[in-house]
Every structure is written in C-alpha cells, then in structure tokens.
Structure 1
Amino acid sequence: MTDRPTPYEVIVVGAGAGGGVIAGVLAEAGKRVLLLERGGTLDLATTKRDHLRNQRLSAYGVNAGPSGSHPRVFVDWKTGEARTLAPWEDGYSNNAAGIGGGTAVYGAQAWRFHPLDFRMASTYGVPDGSSLADWPIGYGDLAPFYQRAEREIGVAGDASAMIHLPPYEAPYPMAPFPVSRQGETLRRGADALGWATITPPLAVNTEPYGGRPACIRCQHCIGFACPVDSKNGSHNTLIPRALASGRCDLVVGAMAERLETDQAGRILGVTFFDADGQRVSVRAEVVVLAGGAIETARLLLNSRSPAHPGGIGNGNDQVGRNLQGHYYPTAVGLFSDDLWDGLGPGPSTAVTRFGHGNEGVIGGAMLADDFVQTPIITWKRRRDPDLPFWGAEAKEWMRRNYRRVTDVKGPVQEIPSPDARVTIDPLVTDRWGIPVVRLSGATHPETVRTATFMLDRAVEWLGAAGAVKIWGTPPSLALSGGQHQAGTCRMGEEPKTSVTDRFCRVHGHDNLYVGDGSVHVTNGGFNPFLTIMALAYRTADHITNHW
C-alpha cells in the first residue's frame, strides 16, 4: 500500500453534481482538497454519439460509464432471484461515472423542490409499511442555495412563472428557451383544460454565459455530452474552478475501497485503488462521500472494523435503506400533423399543478413534454403497441409518424420503503476484489397509485391537445433508483431512523459528510440535481465554517 504524504484538509469521493460543488467551494475557500473520481473525462470525444450505446438507451452498452468492471447484484422482489448485472442491464440503476457525473450527459432540467416535498409525512401521514418522513430542513433553508446554484451553474428560465413556489429572490440568470412546436400544441391542450403551463428551467445556456457559448439546439442533449459545452454541470463550472485555485488535486480512475478509522472509530481518510491498480491510502481532516446514493452506501457498508462491525454510520441498520429514484409514467400521443420542429434541447412545456393536493393519492409530479428522441428510442418506446417490432408495416409507421408522435411524462414523488435497499453481496466482487452492491426490495405500493394518477393526467392532456391515438404502460411495483437515485443515507434529527444530520454529517462522526442524493428524505416530484447542488453548497459552507 502507498501512503500519500500530501496533507489534505478534505477528501471528496465522487466528482459528480454534489462532489464537484463541494470541491469547488472548499478549494476557493482556501482548503486543500483531494477529489477522487473512478471515471474519467466525459466530453464528446470520449462519449461519442452512438444511438445504440448511451445513457438514454443502454441495451447495447453505455457511453459514460461505468465499465463492466463494476457489476452489481439485483434481487427480483417478486421471485427472490438474484442476478449479477453489468451497468447497461435493466435493474442495475446506472448513473454516469466520470468528471461531472450525470451532469455531463443529463437533460439538465433545473427544478427546485416544492415546499411540501420537505413535509410529506406531516402533509399526508405515514402509510403502513412505508418510511415516509419529513426532512429536518425546509424549502426556506435551501432557497438561498438554490439561487446560488442557479447563478453559478447557469440556469435559463422564467422565475415569475414558477407559480407553484414562493416568489424567487432573483430572476434566473438567463431567459428561457423558446417554446417548441410540440410545446405549443400541448399548451393549447392545457389551455382547453384550464391548466397553467410554464417553460421548464434548464441548466443550458440560451446566451453566452460563464465563458461558454449558447446552445446550438442540436437535439442530442440527454444521454450525450454537449458538442459546444453549453450544457452546464459541475464538470464545466465548479470542478474547473477548484482546479484553477491550485488547491485541489483531481485523481481519476480512483476506485474507493474503504474509509480508514482509528481504534476509537474516528475517520482518518480513504483507501482507494489508483488507475494502475495500486492500493493508496490518504488522510485528511474531513471526508465527504459523493458517489451517488448506491455507491456511497456501498462505501460505508464496506468500511467495517471492530469499532464499526456493520459499517460506518450503520449502528442502527439505516445505511442503504429507503432507496428511491423516480417513477416516470408516460403517455404517448400520435397526432395527425407533424409536431417536431427539429430543434433541441427538448422539454419546453410543463404543468406543475399536480405536484400536491391530488385527491386520494400522496404527492404527485410535474408533467412535461419529453426530450428529442432518437429514431431507435422512438422505435423502442413510442411505437404503436398494436404493431410488431419488425416488418414492413412497422417500418412504414416509423417513416410516417416519427415527427407526429410525442409523449408526456413526469418524475413521480416516490413513497420510500425501508425494504428498498442497498446491501453488500456476500459472494460477488468487482475487479479490485471489493464486494459489490446487492439491490433488493421495491418501492411502496402508494407510489404506484400516485404514478397511475399521473399517467391518467398525461393521457388527459394529450387528448385535449388533439392526439388521435394515446397509449401508455400502467405502472407496477418495482425497485427504483437509476439516474435520480436517492435516500440511502437520509438526513434526520434521530439517529435511529436516519444516517446524517441536517448538515449532511454522518451521525456520530463530526468529520464525515455526505454530498449527494443519498441524504434526500424524499425525492420530490421534480428532477433532483438542483437540490443535490443546493445541499452541496450548504454542506460546503458548513465545513468551511466548522473546519
């Protein structure tokens, strides 16, 4: 084992949305930071534009990692069958692995959570068998950090249109994107229903911003790296700033193995394998885990010692529980005229009225039109279900209707279950010999009820917009996670039911923090990356002020 002698003050494990923010803020505050990332650079040259292998459609592989050296074990909740999966297989719950994490290839919808998203248990009660709880903080605690993220990352939108939220403290730094042709069609349908519509806020430049150009509207936003660097994330904002400070070292190809502690259990640092396969141990005053809700839980659980026989932070068997993501009930509509105008980046019309206050269900979701679909994704996900996947009739349908079909979908607020969880598999290891994750359980049945309600609303919207045929798949109980993974190290005041405190610090460890979606108590009815970043800014400020 190699010991790195450089005296770092902070080690950040994971260079994604949260880890990148924390590294940038701390380095600019004068801290000496080591940023560890298992992947590498995620730009157009490394991720390419392969329609068959990308983060949006991964049946044949992924373009932003991780590689096949990172298996996981998935347990079917209905049958109990355990399968070892590669990152591109269903059930893996993949997210990009590289500098910027998912922000390098995401769709960049930059929503704030609703105030009631932080008070779900108080608002709706706790369903039997669920672990639904309130956050220990509220919207007001995060509002200034939302604003900071919107300004420093760069978000385009219309703050005055966010009628579902309290008034913003300042406008977005950039104007919203124009409404697309399909968005205009959907707006006419929403008007007929009396539903207010807004343009989704996007972390994509509508004008030159932060030294990066405006979006060229190339249609390949989600699942791919931006060809002109106008899609904003930690990879082209906070991480470059951290490196420019001269106080942050970035190590790529670094696979974290375990946290190191002294005999009393105090966190000393991190042991990882470098790109050459050498085991390296490095120490720091503070460690921040930001590898995503699945890998962060894995690292804690794999850090067993006499002082922590069940893993660090797991004295109450909470690490890895409450795994969440988002259900995405989707209604597809076929129209008689062309909808697609050939312009990206994608969603231009959303409805937020169903986030809360829906009779008979818990929570809800934002609904919006979708990103531009590649032909193969349209073939797989939007094809008329009355047609086969092959043959002349199906091909003719694609030629005739590729521009006439669209869908409406939204990220449903999931009801967490303690049985939806991350544990360590007793048999399977990765290429470094590190025990891998075992994913098991399912979300709570109330999630399916809410998702079904939202699917009905999507169907209603498409019908009012003039769709001549509408279809969709009814939601069913399953384990969630994926690119919106959250919940496995939830924050709370009580260590018996949570892993971290209100400042994302692991209970019982004053120098160990979590900086990703793991800390989300609930995951909102919106895309979560802006909340991850807002929490990361808040956590970084806390570290700066206390260390």
Structure 2
Amino acid sequence: MKYDICIVGSGAGASPVAYTLAKAGAKVLILEKGPWLTEKEFFKDELAISLRDAYNPKLSDEQHVIEELYQDQNGEAYWQGEPTSESGWSFWNGNVVGGSSNFMSGYFHRLKPIDFKLKSEFGEIEGANVEDWPITYEELEPYYAKVEREIGVSGKVVQHPFQEPRSSDFPYPPVLEHPVASWIDKAAKLIGYHAIPVPRAILSRPAMGRNSCEYSGYCSSYGCSSGAKGDARAALLNHAVATGNLTIIPNAKVYHLSSNESGEVTGVNYYDSAGRKRLVSANIYVVACQAIETSRLLLASKSKKFPNGLANNNGQVGKNLVFSAGGTGQGDFSYDQLTEQKQAELKQVGPFINRALQDWYQINDKNFNGANQQGKAKGGTIDFLFYQNPIARARGTERDENGELMWGKQLQAALHKEFTSYKTLRFEVFNDWLPTDDCFVTLDQETTDKWGDPVAKVRIGAHGHDLLVGEYLAEKGAKLLEAMGAENISTSVSSYPPTNLMAGGCRFGVDPKTSVLDKNCRAHEVNNLYVTDGSFMPTGGSVPYTFTIYANAFRVAEHIKRLWKQVSLKP
C-alpha cells in the first residue's frame, strides 16, 4: 500500500503530524523502532528504571560512539571515540511508541522571544555558530497554545520579569503542589527573587479520555500508568489511530531512505520484527527519530545524487548538534532542625515541587564576565525537585568516606540515616548549549549495530561560555537554598551533555548553504522530505525541548496538510 504520509519515529516531533493529517483524512503510516506499550505495561518499577535500562535497546545490539576531548602528556588536545557498549553511557531516551515523551517530567516552559534572535540580540560569540531562527516567537505562539489544549498542560500564569507574551491562560489548573513549594515562595520573596509555578504536561483533572494525575511520586523516567502525562501516544496517537487513517508498525527499524535522480524520496527501507527487509512508499516523508538518529539516518541514505547522505550536498547534516548546558545543585533539610509541622510537610510524597526561577533568563550584570565580556548574556531557568525513587536515593550511600563498600550493620545504619534524618531539595539549571564545530554527528566506519549498519559517532564538545552561564545560575539557586535554611549546599556544572536533551543536526534557516531545512522544516534539497523532531532547532533555548518540539511539529503539520490537500484535490 502507498500512503499519503510516512513518518519515521513516533514521539513529540512525529505525533502532531500524524494526528493532524489523520484527522484531516490522509492515510498516514508511522514506523517505530520500539514496541507498542500502553498504560497496562507501565509499572512504577524502580529496578527497571534505576538498575536496568528497560525501555531502550541493549548497548550490545545498538550503540553510539562518543568522541571526547583529551590531552596527551605534552598537553596537546585530541579527540578519541569510545563505543557506548564499552562505556555503558546510553544516548537512547525511549524506544517505544510515543518515544521519549513517555518518560519526560513534563516541564513545559515556552521559549521566549529572545530565544529566536540570539545572534541579533547578543552578537556573535567566537567559536560558536549562533544563528537567529527563521521564524519568530509570534509565529510559534498559537501552536504553543494548541499544545497546551491538545496535550493537556496544567499551570497558572504568574507575572515575572521575563514572562513571555501569551494569547490565553493554561487550559487546566495547576497540579497539586508539595508544601515545600510555599517554602520556596517565601524565601524567594525575602531575597527579591520571583518564584513561578512550573507548567506541567500532566492533567490535573480527567479530560480527553485520559485520567488525571495519581500523584504516585514516580514521573521522570517512568511511563505513566494513568494516562495523565501528555506523552505522544496517550495524548495524540491514540486519537489518530481511532480515525482509522493512521497505521503504526512497531519494531520497525528504518535503515535507508531511497531517492530518485531528481532528488525526491521514493521509499523507506526498514527491518521488521523478524529482521526481514521491507519497503514502503508515500507521497510525503517525515523523519522524527530524535536528533542523533535522524542525522544518522539521513547520512546513511546515500544515493547517486546525494553521495554524502540525503539532503546533505551542503555538508550540514549532523552539524551544530546541541544538548542542554547547565548543572545541578542541592541542599539538605535536617529533621531535627525543624518543627513537627515542618517535618510533616517535608516528608510528604507525591505532589510536585513545581517551582522555577527565570529571573536571569537574560543576564544583565556587570559582574558577569561571559564570552562577550559586556555583562550581558542569555541566561536560563532553574527548576526545583525531589528525587522520590528510594533506590536512586539509596545509591551512593553504600560506600564509606574512603570509598569502600559497606556491609551489614554499617550499611544498615547508613541507609537508616539517609531515609530518616534529612531530605534533599535539588535544582536543575537549564541554559543554552552553544552550537560549535566540535559538536556533531557522523557515521562510524568501524562500529555497527546488530543489523550491520554503521552507528552514529557523536562528538560532544562544549563551548566555555556555557559553563560560565551555568555557574552563574547555579550560584543563584544555591542562594535560594541558603535563604530557605538548607545545609550542605553544593552545586555542580559540567560540560558533559545530558543525554535526554538533544537537538540540532538538521537546523532550519533561510540560507541553503548553512542550513538543512527551510522555515517549514522541509529539506532544501528534497521537496517531499520534512524533519520535525528537535533536529530543526538552530539553538536550544534555556528550557527542556519537548514543548517546543510539539509546537513546531503542529506548525509544520498545518503546512503539510495544506500541501496534501492541494495534491489530493487534483483531478
């Protein structure tokens, strides 16, 4: 069967396209490498999350090669790659129907107008490839609002210095909040900060055939057993399948996109669940299998017209990969230093902290010495949270001060102290990971996956400016913890990438020489090929990416729908 639209991947970048086109009457096919799991298969299984990587491929079967920067004995820098099957460092984020959106925390901050014009506002930064977006916040804003309605975002607008323009309030009231949220509010006000509620892609009341949040305390990294989380499968794909116009083939690993001499894609080659080679064709093709794997697929799809990979005659596919810069911080609250009421509040489990700081989304501080040395820079977001998973919390307490493993009563005493004497409040810092020439995706010529195909080789070089911004923000978060009365306050900012936050590799832009996609995320060189996952982003912003990926995919879906209608209405 020939389909109208064939989509590779099923996550936040794929599902809005499938949902929009299937509802419009188009025949849509999704090819998803992972299995088709539902709420019935999602349990709050800490062993599956903390000690096993239950929803991702085995690294012995499917891996990446990660290139890091080292120095030799003479101080000379060099790059060296290591397969993740050896390091154990997984760059997978959820190979199931619905993709990694199944396992997100659902922090749904919008980008702000400044994020679309970093180069114009802050100028060039030496060693960075910063470019303005070819669209504006105003063009994307209606689709942010659409995501809030269709996915189900719960929140409350609170005015603060960097509140972005909005056309409407949130469609659902905030989810329940942990009592510690009020501690943050009080301390923030005391020191002149503006604590704001965090919008969550989690239903605070039943809607759209889904249940509301059950407040189990297990959200990040876990599939949602109630359907409250706004993952791609529960929020969009279930409804798209119900139209009768969407077909999903799980356990289908796409390895090559065929194209003709004129440069149009003619078919998708994939391995089915039995390892057999299959071929499907469509009129329009959409690739949305997360940034690294999207670049890998296009680079592997060579042809006579595209000897270096599909849509890559300008050599831009895989370039300007970005992650999210920043780090973490934490502080302890000892029970013996608190009143009985405060102890009871701190011990509550289930509701979310749901507090963030964006006071420094733009830094204007003469004491800040960033890359431009003007006291001005793009800043970021600080989100507060608890780690609720006991196994994750217990890991790290099994060793004594000398790093030796503890056993018996010594271990028992350490665990008892960990769980009964204090609780740790943490924060995460999100700031821009500047695109550079040292962060990109290529194909590894030696390491292959279980099907014999070359794996992606990923260089993960970071720009020094990212660390300066991250450290600046982490100090602000630590100051709030101090104002709350926390003890043992510490922060950590690293140039290592968080593997669950990746974008770029197929950036969109006006100039075909320096971008892969046009403003509608159609490949400059391939008329019937679109990329709608986070690959399109020239810069990542200072918030988690999923919300923006959803919004942009809805925007592109409307463009594809108009194109499909024009073709389908022809005699």
Verify same fold: TM over 0.5: yes
The one of 352, 355, 367 equivalent to 2:382 is 367
- The residue that corresponds to 1:398 in the other structure is 418
Report whether the alignment pairs 1:63 with 2:54.
yes
Report whether the alignment pairs 1:354 with 2:353.
no
Deviations 1:21-57 (A, max 9, x none): 1111111111111111000134455453332432xx4
- The residue that corresponds to 2:106 in the other structure is 108
Cα distance between partner residues in 2 of 1:387 and 1:119? 50
**Percentage identity across paired residues of the two chains:** 30
Check whether the contact 2:504–2:535 (CA below 8 A) recurs between aligned residues: yes
Instruction: Kindly report which structure 2 residues correspond to 1:383-532, keeping only aligned pairs within 5 A, or say none.
Output: 388=403, 390-391=405-406, 392=410, 394-401=414-421, 403-473=422-492, 475-478=493-496, 480=497, 482-532=499-549
The one of 41, 61, 69 equivalent to 1:77 is 69
Shift of 1:431: 1.2
Larger Rg: 2
Label 1:371 to 1:217 Cα distance change in 2 as closer, same or farther (>3 A): same
Deviations 1:78-112 (A, max 9, x none): 2533221149932x322111111111121111111
* Residue identity in the other structure for 1:77: L
Label 1:121 to 1:418 Cα distance change in 2 as closer, same or farther (>3 A): same
Q: Indicate the larger mover: 453-462 or 183-192.
A: 183-192
The one of 306, 309, 331 equivalent to 2:307 is 309
Deviations 1:231-263 (A, max 9, x none): 122111211121111111100001001111112
Cα distance between partner residues in 2 of 1:278 and 1:351? 51
Q: Indicate the larger mover: 535-544 or 427-436.
A: 427-436
The one of 16, 27, 33 equivalent to 2:28 is 33
Shift of 1:386: 6.5
- The residue that corresponds to 1:51 in the other structure is 46
Shift of 1:468: 2.1
* Residue identity in the other structure for 1:25: T
Q: Which runs of 5+ in 1 are unaligned?
A: 1-5
Label 1:324 to 1:179 Cα distance change in 2 as closer, same or farther (>3 A): same
Indicate the RMSD between aligned Cα atoms, in angstroms.
2.2
Label 1:390 to 1:370 Cα distance change in 2 as closer, same or farther (>3 A): farther
Report whether the alignment pairs 1:323 with 2:324.
no
Cα distance between partner residues in 1 of 2:227 and 2:236? 14
Instruction: Kindly report which structure 2 residues correspond to 1:282-293, keeping only aligned pairs within 5 A, or say none.
Output: 282-293=280-291
List structure 1 runs of 4+ shifted beyond 6 angstroms.
381-387
Q: Normalised by the size of structure 1, how large is the TM-score?
A: 0.93
Label 1:416 to 1:271 Cα distance change in 2 as closer, same or farther (>3 A): same
Instruction: Kindly report which structure 2 residues correspond to 1:33-182, keeping only aligned pairs within 5 A, or say none.
Output: 33-43=28-38, 45-54=40-49, 57=50, 60-68=51-59, 69-78=61-70, 80-86=79-85, 89-90=88-89, 92-161=90-159, 164-182=162-180
Check whether the contact 2:252–2:270 (CA below 8 A) recurs between aligned residues: yes
- The residue that corresponds to 2:553 in the other structure is 536
Cα distance between partner residues in 2 of 1:235 and 1:441? 30
Deviations 1:110-147 (A, max 9, x none): 11111111111111112111111111111101000000
Q: Which runs of 5+ in 2 are unaligned?
A: 71-77, 336-342, 371-376, 565-571
Cα distance between partner residues in 1 of 2:477 and 2:86? 31
Cα distance between partner residues in 2 of 1:428 and 1:525? 34
Cα distance between partner residues in 1 of 2:163 and 2:63? 41
Cα distance between partner residues in 2 of 1:123 and 1:389? 51
Check whether the contact 2:149–2:171 (CA below 8 A) recurs between aligned residues: yes
* Residue identity in the other structure for 1:72: H
* Residue identity in the other structure for 1:442: G
Cα distance between partner residues in 1 of 2:187 and 2:405? 33
Cα distance between partner residues in 2 of 1:490 and 1:385? 47
Shift of 1:162: 6.4
The one of 9, 12, 25 equivalent to 2:7 is 12
Deviations 1:192-235 (A, max 9, x none): 11111111000111111112122111000111112221112211
* Residue identity in the other structure for 1:366: T
- The residue that corresponds to 1:265 in the other structure is 263
Cα distance between partner residues in 1 of 2:397 and 2:328? 10
Cα distance between partner residues in 1 of 2:299 and 2:165? 41
Q: Indicate the larger mover: 371-380 or 14-23.
A: 371-380
Cα distance between partner residues in 1 of 2:155 and 2:398? 32
Cα distance between partner residues in 2 of 1:137 and 1:159? 25
Q: Indicate the larger mover: 115-124 or 327-336.
A: 327-336
Check whether the contact 1:62–1:88 (CA below 8 A) recurs between aligned residues: no
Label 1:204 to 1:80 Cα distance change in 2 as closer, same or farther (>3 A): same
Question: Which secondary structure does the structure 2 equivalent of 1:179 belong to?
Answer: coil
Cα distance between partner residues in 1 of 2:143 and 2:131? 23
- The residue that corresponds to 1:211 in the other structure is 209
Q: Normalised by the size of structure 2, how large is the TM-score?
A: 0.89
Question: Which secondary structure does the structure 1 equivalent of 2:29 belong to?
Answer: strand
Cα distance between partner residues in 2 of 1:179 and 1:150? 19
Q: How many residues align?
A: 534
Shift of 1:278: 1.0
Question: Which secondary structure does the structure 2 equivalent of 1:448 belong to?
Answer: helix
Q: Indicate the larger mover: 376-385 or 79-88.
A: 376-385
Cα distance between partner residues in 2 of 1:145 and 1:385? 51
Label 1:7 to 1:43 Cα distance change in 2 as closer, same or farther (>3 A): closer
Deviations 1:130-178 (A, max 9, x none): 1111111111010000000100110000134466234421121110123
Q: Indicate the larger mover: 529-538 or 123-132.
A: 123-132
Label 1:178 to 1:50 Cα distance change in 2 as closer, same or farther (>3 A): closer
* Residue identity in the other structure for 1:82: G
Cα distance between partner residues in 1 of 2:86 and 2:555? 32
- The residue that corresponds to 2:293 in the other structure is 295
Cα distance between partner residues in 2 of 1:381 and 1:156? 34
